[in-house]
Amino acid sequence: MLKTIGTGDTEALFDEIPAALRIEHLDNVPAGMGEAEVMRLMRSRAAKDGGVVSFIGAGAYEHHIPAAVWDIATRGEFYSAYTPYQAEASQGTLQVIYEYQTMMASLTGLEVSNASLYDGATAFAEACLMAVRGNRKAKSRKILVSRSVHPIYRAVARRITAGQGIELVEVSCRDGQTEFAALDAFKDEAFAAVCLQQPTFLGTLDDVDALTDWAHAKQMFVIAICNPTSLAVLNPPGEWGDAGVDIACGEGQPLGIPVSSGGPYFGYMVCRQKIVRQMPGRIVGRTVDLDGKPGFTLTLQAREQHIRRSKATSNICTNQGLMVTAATIYLSLLGSEGLRRTALQCHANTQLLAQKLAALDGVSVAFEQFFHEAVLQFDRPVAPLIEALSQQNILAGYDLSSDYPELGHALLVCATEARTEAEIDAFAVALEAAMNSTEAD
């Protein structure tokens, strides 16, 4: 190949890259492994997923997944995440995505859904970019973000949007909720959007109606980050305030995707029809052919627009098709009533968990109002407690000390419908024993 193109060696192919930007080797990339070695490694890692009882939550939730979901999703007809460009050969996959979009639009109370994004964090970052492009009235490159938004989402959004000169300005929290009074400090500034999470990362519920109306009165878009399971019982973002939000996004993992060593996940995004042309990713539309028969195809944007770099709406070039297929099957099997029951059981289990743990000396519930996550405050550091319980295969929760130091020794716990009362009791017993072996501050 080098001879054919008239190049002396491989290094000459990269002579356009300045020497200062080149490195000799990647220190943190291990040497290649053979097939047998890879299999042994993967088996050892898979074994770490088994036998633990998780109370973590914090954006990744263990739900019961009907066996039929992945039996169908892993059939050869669906077993790919690739975008189906050739509509004439991909009608089944395109219809599944169209059904998914319909379900997500219905669940959120908005008008248009895309075919998914990489994960919840990147979906939030894309929503910020979309708001800046779409809000012609504000003409601002600043966005208000509540500190109740997932800290990882905020970090990812800053990294992705910084290169385009977009500034994320944080709004403080009080009692686990966006502090409405703190918004007065920004009343004279122009912002493209305000970003809210419901339920918040801390499990609490914001006054989203008042916050949405305040933002719209200031010519701001409203971006909502929602746990899709919660939308079976909470007011959908499309109905917040007088006019509803402009963009909703979040993590789709609760909809039939297992918690499996950190992924894969998928991000969902829905919006108002008026800004649909600013939506990143793929959109599947339904039409009819010359004979009047229904058909499905990618719509509104050409494949080629995604390779136009800075001129593209987004550089996201595919969707999480396999995850979306599983989510569509999951929602179809549960239906609206099944999803509602799941959400209610999550809420009931977390209430029971918080009640039993708060009965221990040195433990209290920080905020009384929550969906299926609760913040517990301790009279001692929680990291040693988490480590002690991990030795008993109990994942005790998420340590909040780094992200929310103002909460003191705080632990975010979660109990989905997958947790049993016996498991909750075992957690309480194990935690009490761990606290008896440590000292309070």
Question: Residue 200 sits in a domain of what CATH number?
Answer: 3.40.640.10
What pairs with residue 15 in β-bridges?
none
- On whether both 319 and 368 belong to a single domain, the answer is no
410 with 393, same domain: the answer is yes
- CATH number assigned to the domain comprising residue 431: 3.90.1150.10
344 shares a domain with 314? no
pLDDT higher for 234 or 92? Answer: 234
Residue at token pair 């400090």 = 185
| Count of CA atoms in the C-beta half-sphere (13 A) of 84 | 26
**CA-based torsion, 401, 403, 407, 412: positive or negative:** negative
- Computed over every residue of the chain, the mean pLDDT equals 92
Residues 276 and 147 in one domain: yes
Classify residue 348: in a domain, yes or no.
Answer: yes
The 10s digit of each residue's pLDDT in 376-423 is: 999 999 999 999 999 999 999 999 999 999 999 999 999 999 999 999
For residues 201 and 241, membership in a common domain is answered with yes
d(CA 405, CA 6): 60
Show the beta-strand stretches assigned E in 187-293: 193-198, 221-226, 247-251, 267-271, 284-288
Whether residues 282 and 260 share a domain: the answer is yes
In a domain, 407, yes or no: yes
Say yes or no to pLDDT of 303 above 80.
no
Q: Which of 275, 306, 329 is the last residue of a domain?
A: 329
Same domain membership, residue 341 and residue 272: no
Question: Among 18-27, 182-191, 283-292, 355-364, where is mean pLDDT lowest?
Answer: 18-27
310 and 342 in a single domain? The answer is no
**Helix 91-108 / helix 321-358 crossing angle, nearest 10 deg:** 30
The count of structural domains within the chain is 2
Q: What is the pTM of this model?
A: 0.89
Q: Is 151 within the bounds of a domain?
A: yes
- Rounded CA-CA distance 6/295 in Å is 48
Where residue 168 falls among pLDDT bands split at 50, 70, 90?
Answer: very high
Residue in 391, 397, 387, 388 with CA at minimum distance from that of residue 419: 397
Q: Are 249 and 259 in contact (CB under 8 A)?
A: no
Pair 113, 155 in one domain: yes
- 25 within some domain: no
Identify whether 232 is part of a domain: yes
- Nearest-angstrom CA–CA distance, 128 and 45: 35
Instruction: Give the pLDDT mean for 338-352.
Output: 97
Residues 6+ apart with CB under 8 A from 374: 203, 350, 353, 354, 365, 366, 367, 412, 413, 414
- H or E element, residue 322: helix 321-358
Tens-place pLDDT, residues 247-270:
999 999 999 999 987 778 999 999
Name the residue range of residue 146's domain: 67-329
From 288, 305, 329, the end of a domain falls on: 329
Residue 248 maps to a domain: yes
Among 329, 363, 389, identify where a domain stops: 329
* pLDDT category of residue 25 using cuts at 50, 70 and 90: confident
Q: Which two tokens stand for residue 7?
A: 């190049």
Residue pair 244/109 in contact (Cβ under 8 Å)? The answer is: yes
